[in-house]
A and B are shown apart, each in its own frame.
Chain A
């Protein structure tokens, strides 16, 4: 019985349209996995299945040996569209997660802890504000803080930086890496992205999905040591070689699909 997230022959279809087909992956605990693929390759669906938001069509999906049958505090999710509750202040959004993760503690303590998370993510000035009053980057930082506050050992992140400008994106990548590297034990993270450089910079491993239907077309280790320095990586031969390999895999899949059509 392998620990971590295990997908054995997982398939999924929306109505009669197959979205994922026969996915076999084992993600050990504490690994940072970047999930890549073209639009419509089923990345988000895979994440939703892992979160327990949708039931697996066929095959077996387990987290630490137990089948995933519904959402659980064991598996936190950061959505692409910063789904903080807009009617709660930022601190209350975090407090609601802490209340679930630590049901025994008093509200004052929960709020104090929530403020701590917000300070860690550079949001001290935004504590009393509502999500609608924040920029996209600040909202996403609050969403990540909430996911961390939930204390889930598995974190599923669906293109969390997709809508951000390059500066905020780089800043949040560094913030996420720092939070992940400092945590003991390290969380298992599945990070969905379209950006190959981001996937390589963050991940220990790249999983690439092909389209129509979504299936595993590459599973590549990232041969870069940690901690990673963004500037030194720019000249890294390994990064360039891996980027070329991923790009070639995705292009090949697209060409195959076009030929089949």
Chain B
């Protein structure tokens, strides 16, 4: 999503709306919909940690410098290979920042 303007246009509005919703809001829905309390707890922890990591991953991919994009194009890296060898490693610092923000706060949820 960080490398595709089209995907950003489609999904970013949803992410902007869903991201700031506190995970506690989902608790009654999770208990009502999911079969066990354990699964509900896992879901609430997951959803709370997901957004910071997701948003940082998108920001990391988006922040990939033009020179690396050009380099990847010159080397003929495309599609999944481009994502795996260029975008993902470049976004990793941002992903870890998202994990540092998202995981501790969810573990105390």
Contacts and interface: CB of A to CB of B under 8 A. Distances in A.
A85 B76 contact: no
A83 B71 contact: yes
Contacts of B76: 71-73, 100
Contact of A79 (B67, B77, B85, B92): B67
Contacts of A76: 74
Interface in B72-90: 73-77, 85-86, 89-90
A34 B76 CA distance: 26
Nearest to A103: B76
A77 B75 CA distance: 9
Contacts of A97: 75
Contacts of A250: none
Q: How large is the interface on B (under 10, 10 to 19, 20 to 34, 35 or more residues)?
A: 10 to 19
B71 A150 contact: no
A71 B89 contact: no
A144 interface: no
Nearest to A54: B70
A27 to B, nearest CB: 19
A231 to B, nearest CB: 36
Nearest to A81: B67
A96 B89 CA distance: 14
B96 interface: no
Contacts of A72: 76
A79 B73 contact: no
Nearest to B92: A87
Interface string A212-241: 000000000000000000000000000000
Nearest to A92: B85
B86 A85 contact: yes
Contacts of B85: 85, 88, 96
A81 B73 CA distance: 16
A87 B70 contact: no
B68 A150 contact: no
A141 to B, nearest CB: 16
A157 to B, nearest CB: 12
Contacts of A51: 74
Nearest to B76: A100
A53 interface: yes
A97 B68 CA distance: 14
Given A85-B68, A85-B89, A96-B77, 10 more contacts: A53-B70, A53-B74, A73-B75, A77-B74, A87-B90, A88-B89, A96-B85, A97-B75, A100-B75, A100-B76
